[in-house]
Structure 1
Amino acid sequence: MSVDPTPPRAPDGRLLWARSPELTGFEALMWRVEADPRMRSTVLVVETLDREPDWDRMVAATDWASRVAPRLRERIVTPFLGAGTPYWAVDPHFDLHYHLRRLRLPDGAGTADLFTLAEQVAMTPLDPARPLWEATVVAGLPDGGAALLFKLSHVLSDGLGLTQLLAGLHSRTREPTPDKPQPPAPSPTPTGPVDDVVRQLRADLGLLGGAARGVLGAAGALLRPDRAVRDAAAYVASAVRVLSPPPAPPLPVLADRSPSWRFRTLDVPFDRLRAAGKAGDGSVNSAFVAALLGAFRRYSARCGDPLPSDRLMPVTMPISVRDAADEAGGNRFAPARLSAPVGLPDPAARIADVHRRVRAARDEPALESVELVTPVLARVPGALITRFGGATTGGNDLQASSVPGLPGEHFLAGARIGRAYPFAPLPGCAAMIAMITHGDVCCVAANLDAAAVTDLDGFARDLADGFGEVLDLA
C-alpha cells in the first residue's frame, strides 16, 4: 500500500516543511562548491501534462504555494564578510513574475524538443540573490499536451523532501479547490551584521551543547573502558570506509568531464521491476542499480573496452537517514560510495551483489559521519572547498538515486500530470540517473555528462537493454 507523503500542516494552513532557518553543514557545503560550474546542484523535474494549464489558475496556485511553503519565498544570505554559516531569509523583494514563466514550442515540435529545452534550462544557473527555484510552463506539445519544468537547488531539499513538497502542493482534482487554506505571505527576516552575529553565536552554542553531551557520554563510557575502546575503534574504521572513495577504478570510456548536461528518459513498469528484484533476492532499488550497471557494461563494450566479469565501477547512492522525529523537507541523506559489479553478466547475480553491498553500506555505524566533517569544511575558503569537492566526486562514474513518487492521480491548474522525470545534478561524475515511481510506472531520468558519454543515442539503447534483461527475470 502506498503511503501518502504529504507533510502535516500548521493551524494557519502552512506546510510543516523545511522550516529551519539554518543550513546544515552538508547544505552549506553544497552551496559553496557551486563556485565550480561542474559542481552546481541544480535539480530539474519535468512533469508532462495532458493539456495546457489554465494560466490564471497557474499564477494563483504558484502564489498560493509560495505562502503555503514559505521556503519558496526565502533566499540564502551569506553573513557579513562571509564569516559564519549561510542561512535562509525571506526575500523582501520576492517577485512571482520572475519565478513563473511560460513559453510555447514551435509548430511540429515533439518530446525530443521538450527535453532539449529542459537541458538548456537546467544548465542555466539559478540567481543566488533570489529564492532558488523557477517554474516554466511549456505548451505546444503533440495532441495539445504541455509540460512543467520545475527547477530548484538541491540545497532546498533532497528527493524525499521534494516528493513531500509536491504532495502538499499538487491538486487531486481537475476542478479548483476554493476552500483550501490561504495563509498570509511570510514576514521579512531581519538581516544585518548584528543579526548575523547573534544568529552565529546561537548556532555555535548549539554545536558546543552537542559536544558537551558527547563529552558526558564519553565520561560514562569510562565505566567500561574495554567496551569504549572497542566501540571507538569500530566507529573509526567505519568512518574511514564511509568517507574514503571506493577502491574500484573509474571506467576509461567515461574519463572526460565537462559542464554540459544531456538528458535521456525511460519508462519502466513498476510491478515488473519489483518482481525482478525479488527474483534476484533483492529489492526494487537493487534491481534499478543492477539495470544501470548492465547498461554501462554494454556501453563500455561498444566503445571498444569489454569488461571482465569481476570488474567493478565506483558508484555513489544517497541513503536516507530520515526518522520520525525529522521535519519534512531539507536534506537528510548520507552518500554511500560503492564498488559496484559492472562486469557481472548475470542480472540475477548482479541484483544480489548490489543488494548485499547496499545493505552493508546502510549498516555502517558511521554512515552519518559526513555530518561531522561538513560543518568544518563549510567554513574553509571557497577555492579549497571547490578543489575538495571536485577531488571527491571527479573519480565517480555514476550516482544513482531512487525515490518513491506520489500515489494516485495529481493535477496542475486543471491539467493531469502524466509522467514526472527527476533530473538530478551532475556533481563532477559521468552520469546521474534517478528514478521516481509515478503511479504504476517508474520514470527513469538520466543526466549524462556530454564529454563522458559521447554516444548518447547508443547509451539510451544500452539503458533500455540493461533494464530489459533485468525485467526478463520477472
Structure 2
Amino acid sequence: MADGDPLIPPSAVDVDLSAVAAGWNRTMSDFETGMWRMEEAQPQLRTPIVAVDVLDRPPNWNRLVQAHEWASHIVPRIRMRAVEPAFGLGNPVWSVDPEFDLDYHLRRMRLPEPADFDHALRICRHLATEPFDRARPPWAAMLIEGLPDGRAVYVVKTHHSMTDGMGGIGLMTLLHSRRAEPTPDKPDRLPAPPEHLSTLTAMRQDMIAEIRKAPGRIGDLVGGAVRAAVATAINPVGAATEVVGYANSLRRIVTPPPATGSPMLRSRGLGRWFGVLEVGLPELKAAAHAARGSVNDAYVAALLGGFARYHRELGVKVGDIPMGMPVNMRRASDPSGGNRFAAVRFAGPATETDPVERIAKVRSIVLGLREEPALDALDLAAPLLSRLPTSLLATWYLSQSTGLDLQASNVAGVPVPVYLAGARIERMFPFGPAPGCAVMATLVSHVGTCCIGVNLDTAAVTKPALFMNCLQESLDEIVELGRREGA
C-alpha cells in the first residue's frame, strides 16, 4: 500500500517483498478461532483493532485506492475471508474471496460543516462497532474529509483474528511512505487468484494441517518427556522444585487479580466511546526516569491515577483496579499476521496517591509478571478451549474479562515522518478492542509523540468526557515529575 519506500520493518532500507507475506498460516490458530467464534454468542466480545491517522491534508484518492490494491497483491491475506469447516470440525481456513471488491472495504466521506476532530472520532467509533460481514475479508477503511484547517482522517479496522497490535502496525506500514511523492516502478506481483473453498474442503485442509503438525507435537512431547526424565535422574530435587515453581506460577497467572473492581464500573454493554490523549515521548521518558521506571510504567501509572481522580470527582471510594496487559511475544522474524502475545492480570495500585511511588509499584508488579514461567498458559490451553461449545467458551471468557476494569497496551510505532498518498501523518491513534472490560487504553509512539487511544464501554463509564479530563490531569501530573527533575 506504499507510495514510496516500504517500511516493513520501519528500520529497513531495502525490503524483500516476497518475505512480507511469508509465514502467514492458512488456518486460524486455536486462540484466533476462539476470538472469531465467541463474538457470535456474545456481541460484547467483538474484537476490532482500529487505527486512526490524522493527516495534514486529504490524500490523493486515486493514489490511496491504488495503494490498497497494491498491498492486496503483496499480502494476500487482505483479500482473504475466513471459511468455517463443515460441522464446525476444525478451525476456520483463510481463503481468497472469489468476489473481492476493494470498493466495499475502502470508503470515503465528507463531514458536514461545521465539523471537528470529535465528529471524525464519532464516525470512527461507529465504524468500529459495526460487526464485520463474515462472508468477506474482515477489514474496513475510510477516508474522512472536511476537518478544520484542511485536515483529514484515515481510519482502518481489522478483526483481531487477522493480527495483533504489533502485527497491525506492520500491516499499516504498507500504506506509509517516507516521502510525499509517488515512487514509480515499485515491486509488485499479481493478485492471488480467487478461491471457491467449500466448507468440506476447509474441514479437509484443517485436518491436513493438524496431521502435519502432529509429528512435531509428538516430537516435542517425547523430547520434553525424555529431557524431564534425564533431568529428574540427574537432579531429582531440582526437577521437583521446577515443577512446583511452574505450578505456582500457573496459579498466579490464572487466578483473578486480588481486587474486586469498582462498583461504579460494574455494568457492561455494547456502547463505545473514543477519546484521545497525547504527550511528547521525551517528556514521558523524563518522567519515567525521575521515578526510576520505564515509559510503560509511567503510562500505566497515569491511567491508574486517572481512574482514582474519576472516582474522587464522583464521590466514590476507589480501591486497586483489576487490570490486564498484553505482553508482546512477537519476534523480529515473525510475519505481520497472526497473534503473538500473552496476557497478564494484576491489581493496579490506583490507591497510591504519590505518582513516584505509583510508578515504582507498577514497575515491580510488571517486571515480576514478565518473568512468570507460565506466561504462555493461555496459549497452551487454547487447543482445549477452542474445542468447547462456542456459547460455553464465550460465557467463560466474558466472566473473566468483565472482572477487569482496565486493559492497557503499549505498541511501538513509527519513529520517522511518513506519508499516506501524499498527505503527512501527524498523529496515529490506536484503539484496541474492549471485549468485556470497562476501559481499553492503547499507546503508540509516532515521531516523538505518544498517541493514546482510549476505548470506553459507556455502560461502565457513564461520564466519558469527565473520565478523559481525569486521565489528562493524571498524565500532566506524571509529566511534571520530569520537569521538576530537569529544573
User: TM class, shorter-chain normalised?
Assistant: over 0.9
1:447 equivalent to 2:455? Answer yes
The answer to which of 263-272 and 7-16 deviates more is 7-16
- The reply on whether 1:24 has 2:40 as its aligned counterpart is no
For the 8 Å contact 2:26–2:95, the answer to whether it is kept is yes
Partner of 2:187: 181
Residue 361 of structure 1 is matched in structure 2 by: 369
1:315 alignment partner, one of 317, 323, 328: 323
1:218 equivalent among 225, 228, 239: 228
**TM superposition shift of 1:70:** 1.5
The equivalences for 1:321-470 within 5 A come to 321-470=329-478
In 1, Cα distance between the equivalents of 2:461 and 2:417? 35
Alignment of 1:178-327 (within 5 A): 178-188=184-194, 192=201, 193-223=203-233, 224-307=235-318, 311-327=319-335
SS of the aligned residue for 1:182 comes to coil
Supply the RMSD in Å over aligned alpha carbons.
2.0
- Would you say the 8 A contact 2:411–2:444 is kept in 1? yes
Q: Is the 8 A contact 1:334 1:367 kept in 2?
A: yes
- CA contact 2:93–2:205 (8 Å) conserved in 1: no
Q: For 2:68 and 2:82, locate their aligned partners in 1 and report how far apart those are by CA, in whole Å.
A: 20
Indicate if the aligned counterparts of 1:38 and 1:427 stay in contact, CA closer than 8 A.
Answer: yes
Q: 1:303 to 1:412 in 2, by over 3 A?
A: same
Whether contact under 8 Å (2:232, 2:240) holds in the other structure is: no
Deviates more, 1:207-216 or 1:141-150: 207-216
Deviation at 1:4, TM superposition (A): 5.0
Q: Could you tell me how far apart the structure 1 residues matched to 2:424 and 2:181 are?
A: 11
Residue 167 of structure 1: which of 173, 176, 187 is its match?
173
Give the whole-Å Cα distance in 2 for the aligned partners of 1:407 and 1:4.
11
The match for 2:134 is 128
2:24, 2:14 → 1: CA distance?
A: 12
The code of the aligned residue for 1:279 comes to A
Aligned residues: 470
Work out whether residues 313 and 339 of structure 1, in 8 Å CA contact, stay in contact via their aligned partners in 2.
yes
The percentage of aligned residue pairs carrying the same residue is: 40
1:187 counterpart SS class: coil
Q: 2:96 pairs with 80, 90, 94, which one?
A: 90
CA offsets 1:98-138 (integer angstroms, 9 cap, x no match): 11111111121111111111111111011111111111111
CA drift at 1:409: 1.0
**Contact 1:110 1:141 (C-alpha < 8 Å) held by counterparts:** yes
Does the 8 Å CA contact 2:57/2:152 hold for their aligned counterparts? Answer: yes
Contact 2:287/2:480 (<8 A) preserved:
yes
Q: After TM superposition, give the deviation of residue 321 of structure 1 in Å.
A: 1.6
Worse-superposed segment, 6-15 or 57-66: 6-15
Matched, 1:151 2:157: yes
Question: Which residue of the other structure, out of 86, 89, 112, is the alignment partner of 1:106?
Answer: 112
Q: 1:322-361 CA deviation, whole Å, 9 max, x = no partner?
A: 2355334321111010111001100010001001100000
Report the Cα distance in structure 2 between the residues aligned to 1:350 and 1:12, rounded to whole angstroms: 45
The structure-2 alpha-carbon separation of the partners of 1:355 and 1:62, relative to structure 1 and needing over 3 Å to count, comes to same
Structure 2 residue 478 is the aligned partner of structure 1 residue 473: no
Residue deviations 1:446-472, cap 9 Å, x none? 100101111111111101101011000
CA distance in 1, matches of 2:230, 2:174: 44
Per the alignment, residue 15 of structure 1 pairs with 20
Q: Deviations over 1:132-154 (max 9, x none)?
A: 11111111111211111101111
Deviation at 1:180, TM superposition (A): 1.2
Separation in structure 2 between the aligned mates of residue 325 and residue 139 of structure 1, nearest angstrom: 37
Q: Using a 3 Å threshold, how does the CA distance of structure 1 residues 9 and 71 change in structure 2: closer, same or farther?
A: farther
* Distance in 2 (alpha carbons) for counterparts of 1:8 and 1:43: 28
Letter paired with 1:105: L
- How much has 1:254 moved relative to structure 2? 0.7
Match of 2:49 in 1: 43
Question: Does the residue aligned with 1:222 lie in a helix, a strand or coil?
Answer: helix
- Asked if 1 retains the 8 angstrom alpha-carbon contact of 2:281 and 2:448, the reply is yes
Q: Which moved more, 1:314-323 or 1:198-207?
A: 198-207
